[in-house]
Structure 1
Amino acid sequence: MSGFAASLSDPGAVASLFAAFAMFATVVSVMLPALKGDKLETRLKQVTSQREKLRRASRAQLEQAGLRREAKGTIAGITKKLDLQKMLEDPNIATKLEQAGLRGPRPLMIFYFCRFALPFLFGAGTALYIFLINDFGLSIQMKYGSAVFGAAAGFYAPNLYVANLASKRQQSIMRAFPDALDMMLICVESGMSIEMAFAKVGAEIGTASVELAEELQLTTAELAYLPERRIAYENLAKRTGHEGVKAVTMALIQAERYGTPLGDALRVMAKENRDMRMSEAEKKAAALPAKLTVPMILFFLPVLFLVVLGPAYIKVTEMDTTGTAYGSSE
């Protein structure tokens, strides 16, 4: 121990120690980059692994939504055997069903089956009611015409149902769409990618519109699964069927194509959709007086006349009764 203390007091030994430490530090500094390896390659592997994980989740989500499942069951079997899809072909019905939120082959098979079966059911039901239960005093020609009308109503009933469902779904989406764009703008300006922004907004907007949350989550899956983002944006516009959503998707496509900032495009589109929502509300408010005219005539005015003229009628009746009694007493 005394020898080690004596060596520390020797200037030559201290200089040798510092020289050895400096040599070791130099060797470590030179060799450290080689020992670390390629960080870029490691990060690229992590990104690839994450993308594959997201693709698997997206495929599972698409299969769960019913887009990749084959239609099975009695109705699907009858539709395939009778080849109703070719017999009653409608080129726009697939898009209409998607806009109504009915995805996959099963709703399409059910639609064609209902379009084939309902004319017979409605026509037969109308004929049985007219001929056997209550004919309303109609002639024989009017009875047959009523049966034909029932069959025609059965043929167009599925289209009316799908159109009504799509309209209600579109209204629900457009009520929450400007707020979704504001949230997406915040996500993009905070540094998120457009895929993460769609996923985040889709998870948060469900309290305002379940339909819009479903569409955004499906778009997130398509952004990770499809080879081009443009196709996912176009699919979103086609599924919603609204000009406001179509304008937003076109702005996103152009921003990606020409490299313009997404934040600016989303800010402008959010303002336009808010103005569009306000104009729709003003249009409905302006149409209220015309819509309230008939209810006011049928329900309000009779009650108002009764309230105003009722006391006067009661007084006149009492005066007539009093006068008659007075005359009879004389």
Structure 2
Amino acid sequence: MESLTQITGQLDAILGPMGLIIIVGVLGLTLVAFTLVMMLRQPEDPLSKLKRSSTVTSSTERAQLRQSDRNEQLQKFAKFLEPEDVAELSAKQLLLRQAGYQSRDAVRMFYFAQFTLAIIGLILGVVYTNFLGGGEGMSTQKTIMWTIGPGAIGYYLPKYWVTRRVGERKKQIESGFPDALDMMLVCVEAGQSLDQCIVRVARELRASYKALADEFEVVAYEMKAGKDKVSVLNDMGERCGVQDVSSFVTVLVQSAAFGTSISDALRVYAAEMRDKRVMKAEEAANKLPTKMTLATMMLTVPPLLIILVGPSAHGITQLGNMTGPGQ
């Protein structure tokens, strides 16, 4: 018992009052790292090795081609880096695709980034509060906050980044969509098919609106692969998450269903998009005076008051000094 007390006293003298917590945390992180290393070094399944070394059929080759872009290291942690709920997994995949991440491993990379940044932030918090002297003079509540806070920030940082990218990508698609409709109308009226029109528009929009060009390229590739045109267009509307694109997809689907001219539908919808863009510009211009009012008052009224009231106030103070309390 005395030896345990002496060891605890030595730990308090070397590492401070949080010495025991530091040791437990280091041991926990070491155990997690050891577990990850052992899982990465686990032997390959003999059946998988036999399948890879043997001659495969054409169906197996196609399956390997479909899975060729997946990360084999992340495949070992698929159970931990992917939600088990199918609906949650689909929602996360859609969110990442709207952010521009089209890879099959996008969901796994997202959760891996959350886990890694959380661990790094936690380590930095422990080092700062216990080894760099940042926790000296802090209360227990502040010490815990400065220890766990960086880990929480690291955990939510990927989510904030993806949400921000989704917003920026939607704005870019909204701003470039009227120009894309005008180009599609010109191509269709020149005699090109819808497939050729989408390929040409994707190539022309690459320099100015990369996000919209990527979406059109995905549509072109899916149509070349033989996927149903209606499904391809509906997938594009769902991927973009923009109301204008969803309405455009509905127009094209209805035009194909009822057999009407695609050029007429594009002409009407392109005119509506141009009018809508003009209305947005007018709305932004009408909001500008209201936004400038506060700035104008803050930058104009104080100097004006100084110019008008300053001389009078200075004269009053000078007069008070000349009269004095005894005069």
User: Which range, TM-score by smaller chain?
Assistant: 0.5 to 0.7
Distance across 2 between alignment mates of 1:316 and 1:195: 77
Q: Aligned runs of 1:1-330 on 2, under 5 Å?
A: 69-72=68-71, 77-78=73-74, 80-81=76-77, 83-86=79-82, 90-91=88-89, 92-130=91-129, 132-134=132-134, 139-288=139-288, 296=295, 301=298, 305-306=302-303, 308-309=305-306, 313=310
Pair 1:102–1:117, CA change in 2 (3 A): same
Residues 121-142 of structure 1 show CA distances to partners (whole Å, capped at 9, x for unaligned) of: 2333345445555459753124
Pair 1:222–1:159, CA change in 2 (3 A): same
Q: Unpaired runs of 5+ in structure 1?
A: 1-65
Structure 1-normalised TM-score?
0.64
Distance across 1 between alignment mates of 2:181 and 2:136: 57
Contact 2:110 2:158 in 1 (8 A): yes
Distance across 2 between alignment mates of 1:267 and 1:129: 62
SS at match of 1:206: coil
Segments of 4+ moved more than 6 angstroms: 318-325
Shift of 1:262: 0.6
Shift of 1:271: 2.7
Pair 1:81–1:176, CA change in 2 (3 A): closer
Counterpart amino acid of residue 117 in structure 1: T
Distance across 1 between alignment mates of 2:282 and 2:136: 45
Pair 1:106–1:192, CA change in 2 (3 A): same
Residues 126-170 of structure 1 show CA distances to partners (whole Å, capped at 9, x for unaligned) of: 454455554597531243245444433332221221111121111
SS at match of 1:114: helix
Distance across 1 between alignment mates of 2:199 and 2:256: 18
Distance across 1 between alignment mates of 2:268 and 2:144: 58
Counterpart amino acid of residue 109 in structure 1: R
Contact 1:169 1:211 in 2 (8 A): yes
Distance across 1 between alignment mates of 2:174 and 2:166: 12
Counterpart amino acid of residue 158 in structure 2: P
- Aligned residues, how many? 257
The structure richer in helix per residue is: 1
Pair 1:302–1:227, CA change in 2 (3 A): closer
Shift of 1:235: 2.2
Distance across 1 between alignment mates of 2:265 and 2:107: 36
Pair 1:231–1:152, CA change in 2 (3 A): same
Distance across 2 between alignment mates of 1:220 and 1:157: 34
Distance across 2 between alignment mates of 1:137 and 1:265: 71
Residues 18-68 of structure 1 show CA distances to partners (whole Å, capped at 9, x for unaligned) of: xxxxxxxxxxxxxxxxxxxxxxxxxxxxxxxxxxxxxxxxxxxxxxxx986
| RCO comparison, higher one (Cα < 8 Å, 6+) | 1
Pair 1:194–1:302, CA change in 2 (3 A): closer
Q: Percent identity?
A: 27
SS at match of 1:98: helix
Contact 1:170 1:241 in 2 (8 A): yes
Shift of 1:212: 1.5
Q: CA RMSD in A?
A: 3.7
Distance across 2 between alignment mates of 1:67 and 1:275: 43
Shift of 1:98: 1.2
Pair 1:175–1:116, CA change in 2 (3 A): same
Contact 1:180 1:205 in 2 (8 A): yes
Stretch of structure 1 that moved more, 241-250 or 285-294: 285-294
Residues 89-144 of structure 1 show CA distances to partners (whole Å, capped at 9, x for unaligned) of: 64212111211111112433321211222222233334544555545975312432
Distance across 2 between alignment mates of 1:150 and 1:293: 40
SS at match of 2:77: helix
Contact 2:172 2:209 in 1 (8 A): yes
Distance across 1 between alignment mates of 2:185 and 2:67: 32
Distance across 2 between alignment mates of 1:210 and 1:204: 10
Counterpart amino acid of residue 269 in structure 1: Y
Distance across 1 between alignment mates of 2:105 and 2:125: 29
Pair 1:228–1:274, CA change in 2 (3 A): same
Distance across 2 between alignment mates of 1:136 and 1:243: 54
Contact 2:93 2:106 in 1 (8 A): no
Pair 1:305–1:134, CA change in 2 (3 A): farther
Counterpart amino acid of residue 184 in structure 2: M
Counterpart amino acid of residue 181 in structure 1: L
